Structure 1
């Protein structure tokens, strides 16, 4: 009878575990990539599936809305059913709905599939990060794995823009969705082979009512902001959606004060320092998603860039974002008060958007578009590093998981509202501009640029309000050494 060597089995499992970062980082890359990959394909897919100008923001918002709204619930479900199982379910579901999204024949099918993508992404994100912390237990290995994971998350935005442009140019916008299928296969196979299973926490309660209330509430507000571009701010549909959304969000807050296992513990939300930090992150995403949506049309419709050229043009933003996150922000966070750093980041956003307001149909890329993109990217790291480090430092250890999820939730919520509201402002301003030029008719291109400029003017004001709030409310001193969450 042959005896098995348990030590050899353990050694083999450890060797396989070293490669676990590959599928886990690939999972993060896939869901991050999908937040931007559709941006440069919008002019191509808009006509193909019948998206109107007022509805085009939903190509982005439908994904970020369900993603952000369900992140907290996704983390709880991972605790309940096991992180590895949750990741597998999320990835397989993501692949299936991506195929449906790529095959969409109308706007309803496309937007609906994008919303379903966000639901499964909300299951993937917290599970992948949690599996890294349980798989890599040795401090040096864990630091390296987290570094790879963070770099993947940061570069995912760049990859989405470039890959989206490449696929749209040489194949079809539909491949921006189909590309998730082979990526999902890699993640599933790698997870099966390299990632150990985790225990289930059957005592965890999933706050389903809270998840439903916050997601429907955000959906109502976002829908109201989006339909205002067609019906106007005084229409019954706009007012009704906004009132319903706000009422549902108020009900969510009420429920969180009474739920046994709330998605958002109010002790975290009402803390002045963490609350202002969350707001800074939300405003950052608000400005970023709105700018990217408008800049996509500026590059392709006005300047005549191909989708691939437009994707490469955004590297000005992502390159400086990576540099400021990994180098500038990491060093400054030990020298400057966090509130002042957040304020400085948002002031850079405001300056970048102020430069955008100078755009005309005759603007060039290097003189008029590259500078604001690079400046906003610089603001990303200067803002993000102190936000993450501060909210983790001022929160109780028992809340560390939910606080990390809230940061992601604020980012997705800000992106959803920013894309919807700023697109509405842009569409309305463009229509008003066309209507006012009866004696000297304006071209569609001129109206498009005018609308983008008008939306950017609003963003400047919002970024400055956020900067003032952060500078005043986040009044804690700079840490003596780099916060763990901010380290490279």
Structure 2
């Protein structure tokens, strides 16, 4: 049999034979993913206590959340490239240690500046840890059926972590101290490190000698401008000059980034990863889901506490229903349907399930009877099942048949899409709710009943928008899924052409 140079190149990029201990690696990388997702929401409920303890001003308190989001979202693409250069397992360990160290510094912070810096440090190491964890999963599970099961577990843990973070934040703040919302990462990281021997060893798949510096600068500054612009849109309004400058500047920088990546010989993000029809559909569907769901989480948290008078712990327990259903959707339902149902049908159905959950909550009123049984519980179930099923299916599609060369950067791009969607959705839906409530109060006065009614009216209008976004996304997925059979998957052979 004749062996060609192309064959050798392709063999170099293929994954190794499956390890008999591969299933032990799944809980290890899933726990790391849980840490990253938890820290996006766990400090939200703890923020008032931290503000009082450290003397933060109202104008600066948002940096506890924003610092993490900016560092994480802005550096993900760079983190994906570093993973390839260092090796995914080595990057995984480095990310774990750094994340735990930054968490310990944040928990011990005696000033707001130290806490802000620690949260930024968490984001930096999360930008390395998240793509490393997903890349290890990609390279460990190469069989299609096994991969579907593994991604179901991974997606369930990750998706449920967003809601679980609110629950954990409420419990730790009320029964321990807000600082434990950060300290909790230290024992979690230690447990994960103990499981590292079960994670497959890999070799570096690239080098930083030819690092695309223009691409790095454009992607980091563009993503930071975009994410920061979204965070500032809610307090200042979309028409604020600063917000407009950030958003337009971010879009311009990212447009230049695309131009640079199309022309450079060693791109930070090979455009074939994004423009492929199947992978692009997966990325878009996840972005749409995160736009709707993060606004949804915010409204449920505020509605249960400000309108229903729930304690932070009770409000968090309401979202726990969503977290459990998300896990069931990812690990059970998606696991059984993968391979039996076309992926675009499963993704579209998931988006519609979450849309129905949003639709249920649009019927809320201030004096709704049996609100938990008739509205909150059905909504938590439908949105949770939809989110879990979608993430399991989309994660599999977005990372299918990737070799060493593309695993890290594709994983980073997938996480970046989630971060941008979450930031945009929170800002957009919250600003809609705020403006609708403000208009309502102008017409009905500012008495207590009017404030409650106006607040709920703002939430329901924003949820109608979220419903529309999800339905439009489902229709787009169905249309894009037609005639896809001839679209070659960008597998190892494509990767070798870099």
1:244 partnered with 2:249 = yes
| Aligned counterpart, 1:475 | 482
Question: Which one of the candidate residues 444, 451, 455 is aligned to 1:448?
Answer: 455
What is the RMSD computed on CA atoms of the aligned residues?
Answer: 3.8
Of residues 108-117 and 227-236 in structure 1, the stretch that sits farther from structure 2 once superposed is 108-117
Contact 1:60 / 1:416 at 8 angstroms: preserved in 2? no
| 2:186 is equivalent to residue 181 of structure 1 | yes
Whether the aligned pair in 1 keeps the contact of 2:433 and 2:461 (CA below 8 Å) is yes
Query: Is the 2:225–2:247 Cα contact (8 Å) retained in structure 1?
Result: yes
Cα gap change, 1:385 to 1:230, in 2 (>3 Å) = closer
Match of 1:66 in 2: 71
**8 Å CA contact 1:98, 1:181 repeated in 2:** yes
The alpha carbon displacement at 1:284 in A equals: 0.6
CA distance in 1, matches of 2:402, 2:139: 21
Mapped pair 1:276 → 2:263: no
Question: So what's the TM-score if we normalise by structure 2?
Answer: 0.79
Q: Normalising to structure 1: TM-score of the pair?
A: 0.81
* Contact 2:141–2:147 (Cα < 8 Å) also in 1: yes
Task: Please list every run of 5 or more consecutive structure 2 residues that lacks an aligned counterpart in the other structure.
Answer: 1-18, 487-498
| SS of the residue 2:255 aligns to | helix
Please tell me whether residue 75 in structure 1 is matched to residue 80 in structure 2. yes
1:384 aligns with 2:391: yes
Kept in 2, the 8 Å contact 1:316–1:370? The answer is yes
Of the structure 1 ranges 361-370 and 434-443, higher mean CA displacement relative to structure 2 is found in 434-443
Q: 2:236 corresponds to which residue? A: 231
TM-fit CA distance, 1:283 = 0.7
C-alpha distance after superposition, 1:247-289 (max 9, x if no partner): 1111221121123332322223223333232111101111111
8 Å contact from structure 1 (residues 273, 475) kept in 2: no
CA contact (8 A) 1:339 1:476 kept: no
CA contact (8 A) 1:434 1:442 kept: no
Q: In structure 2, the residue corresponding to 1:38 is in which secondary structure?
A: helix
Equivalent residues of 1:69, 1:211 under 8 A apart: no
1:329 aligns with 2:372: no
Q: Which moved more, 1:282-291 or 1:103-112?
A: 103-112
Q: In the alignment, what sits opposite 1:6?
A: none
Name the counterpart of 2:128.
Answer: 123
Q: Would you say the 8 A contact 1:269–1:275 is kept in 2?
A: yes
- Does the Cα contact within 8 Å between 1:49 and 1:110 map onto a contact in 2? no
Q: 1:458 matched to which residue of 2?
A: 465
SS of equivalent residue, structure 1 residue 35: helix
Equivalent residues of 1:41, 1:173 under 8 A apart: yes
Number of equivalenced pairs: 465
**Partner Cα distance (2:257, 2:85) in 1:** 22
CA distance in 2, matches of 1:196, 1:388: 20
Q: Which residue of 2 aligns with 1:484?
A: none
Match of 1:215 in 2: 220
Matched, 1:318 2:333: no
Relative distance call for 1:380 and 1:61 in structure 2 (3 A) is farther
- Measured in 1, the distance between the counterparts of 2:361 and 2:62 equals 20
* Aligned equivalents of 2:347, 2:224: Cα separation in 1: 28
Give a deviation string over 1:185-222, Cα, whole Å, max 9, x none.
Answer: 3334554x666765444545444543442232233233
Residue by residue over 1:58-86, the C-alpha shift from the partner in whole angstroms, topping out at 9 and shown as x without a partner, is 65554344334433322321222233432
Query: Offset of 1:460 from its aligned partner?
Result: 1.7
State the alpha-carbon separation in 2 of the partners of residues 173 and 348 from structure 1. Answer: 35
Partner of 1:91: 96
The structure-2 alpha-carbon separation of the partners of 1:45 and 1:433, relative to structure 1 and needing over 3 Å to count, comes to farther
Q: Which residue of 2 aligns with 1:287?
A: 292
Higher deviation after alignment, 320-329 or 229-238: 229-238
